[in-house]
Amino acid sequence: MSEAMVEFAAAPPSTGGGGLLRRLNLLTAVAGGVLFAAIGWYISHRIMQLGDFGSDRVVTITLICWALGFMVGIGAFAGPLRWLLGRDQEHEDEMFLAGKDQGIGRYFRFTTDHKVVGIQYLVVTMVLFAVGGTLAMTIRTNLITPNSGFLGPQTYNAVVGIHGLVMIIATIVMVTGPFGNFIMPIMIGARDMAFPRLNALSLWLLVAAVPILLSAAFLGGIPTGWTGYAPLADQAPPGMDAYTMTIIVFAMSSAIAGVNITTTALTMRARGMTWSRTPIFVYGVVASVGLAIPAFPMFMSAEVLLGMDRSFGAQFYVAAGGGSPWLYTNLFWLMGHPEVYVIVLPAVIALMEITPVFTRKPLFGFNVAVLSIVGIVGLSVMVWAHHMFTTGWAPDLNGSFMLTTELISIPTGLLFLVIIGTIWRGRVWTTLPMMAVYAMLWNFIIGGVTGIYLSDVPADYALHGSMFVTAHFHYTLMGAGLTGAIGALFYWFPKMTGRMINKRAGLVSFWLVQIGFNVTFMGMFAVGLAGQPRRVVHYDHLFAVGNFVSTMGAYCIGVGMLILLYAVVSSWRHGAVAPANPWGAKTLEWAVPNPIPLENFEVLPVVISDPYGYGEGDPVLPPTQRELVPVGAPRDPVAEDDTETSQS
Q: What is the rounded CA–CA span in Å between residue 475 and residue 470?
A: 9
**Side-chain half-sphere of 381: how many Cα atoms within 13 Å?**
14
Q: In this structure, what are the phi and psi dihedrals at residue 47, rounded to the nearest 5 degrees?
A: -90, -50
Contact 284, 259 (CB under 8 A): no
pLDDT grade for 626, boundaries at 50, 70 and 90 = low
Residue-wise pLDDT tens digits, 516-560: 999 999 999 999 999 999 989 999 999 999 999 999 999 999 999
Q: What is the rounded CA–CA span in Å between residue 557 and residue 527?
A: 20
CA proximity to 485, closest of 237, 259, 215, 176? 176
Q: Which residues contact 422 (CB under 8 A, 6 or more apart)?
A: 352, 355, 356, 359, 361, 362, 363, 364
pLDDT grade for 304, boundaries at 50, 70 and 90 = very high
Residue-wise pLDDT tens digits, 363-412: 999 999 999 999 999 999 999 999 999 988 999 999 999 999 999 999 99
Give me the pLDDT at residue 313, please: 87
Is 60 exceeded by the pLDDT of residue 7? Answer: no
pLDDT grade for 644, boundaries at 50, 70 and 90 = very low
* 24, 238, 301, 593 from 64: Cα distances, Å: 20, 14, 16, 43
Question: Does residue 502 sit in helix, strand or coil?
Answer: coil
pLDDT grade for 54, boundaries at 50, 70 and 90 = low
Is 70 exceeded by the pLDDT of residue 621? Answer: no
One-letter amino acid at 618 equals: D
Mean pLDDT of 498-515: 96
Mean pLDDT of 489-518: 96
Residue-wise pLDDT tens digits, 440-464: 999 999 999 999 999 999 999 999 9
From the centroid of its chain, how far is CA 452? 25
Please give the residue that has the higher pLDDT: either 182 or 321: 182
Q: What is the rounded CA–CA span in Å between residue 371 and residue 599?
A: 33
Q: What is the rounded CA–CA span in Å between residue 586 and residue 581?
A: 9
Q: What is the rounded CA–CA span in Å between residue 209 and residue 243?
A: 10
Give me the pLDDT at residue 632, please: 36
One-letter amino acid at 451 equals: G
Q: What is the rounded CA–CA span in Å between residue 100 and residue 92?
A: 9
**Side-chain half-sphere of 629: how many Cα atoms within 13 Å?**
19
Q: In this structure, what are the phi and psi dihedrals at residue 466, rounded to the nearest 5 degrees?
A: -105, 170
CA proximity to 307, closest of 64, 58, 69, 56? 56
Out of 1.20.210.10, 1.20.1070.10, 1.10.10.10, 1.10.940.10, the CATH code matching 112-574 is: 1.20.210.10
Residue-wise pLDDT tens digits, 79-90: 888 888 877 778
Q: What mean pLDDT, rounded, does the chain reach? A: 90
Is 70 exceeded by the pLDDT of residue 30? Answer: yes
pLDDT grade for 94, boundaries at 50, 70 and 90 = confident
Q: What is the rounded CA–CA span in Å between residue 43 and residue 58?
A: 9
Q: What is the rounded CA–CA span in Å between residue 588 and residue 184?
A: 9
Contact 418, 352 (CB under 8 A): yes
Is 80 exceeded by the pLDDT of residue 576? Answer: yes
Per the rule left: phi > 0, alpha: psi between -120 and 50, beta: everything else, 37 is: alpha
Is 60 exceeded by the pLDDT of residue 38? Answer: yes
Q: In this structure, what are the phi and psi dihedrals at residue 596, rounded to the nearest 5 degrees?
A: -75, 135
* 244, 263, 306 from 311: Cα distances, Å: 11, 37, 9
Q: What is the rounded CA–CA span in Å between residue 318 and residue 325?
A: 7
* 93, 194, 264, 266, 606 from 648: Cα distances, Å: 22, 9, 9, 10, 11
**Side-chain half-sphere of 300: how many Cα atoms within 13 Å?**
14
Mean pLDDT of 69-92: 87
Q: Which residues pair with 499 in a beta bridge?
A: 577
Is 50 exceeded by the pLDDT of residue 12? Answer: no
Least confident among 202-211, 445-454, 636-645: 636-645
Give me the pLDDT at residue 617, please: 66
One-letter amino acid at 411 equals: P
CA angle 299, 303, 304 (to 5 degrees): 115
Mean pLDDT of 129-141: 96
CA proximity to 359, closest of 281, 420, 276, 414? 420
Is 90 exceeded by the pLDDT of residue 625? Answer: no
Is 80 exceeded by the pLDDT of residue 70? Answer: yes
Domain boundaries, the chain: 11-98, 112-574
Contact 277, 229 (CB under 8 A): no
Give me the pLDDT at residue 101, please: 85
Contact 270, 88 (CB under 8 A): no
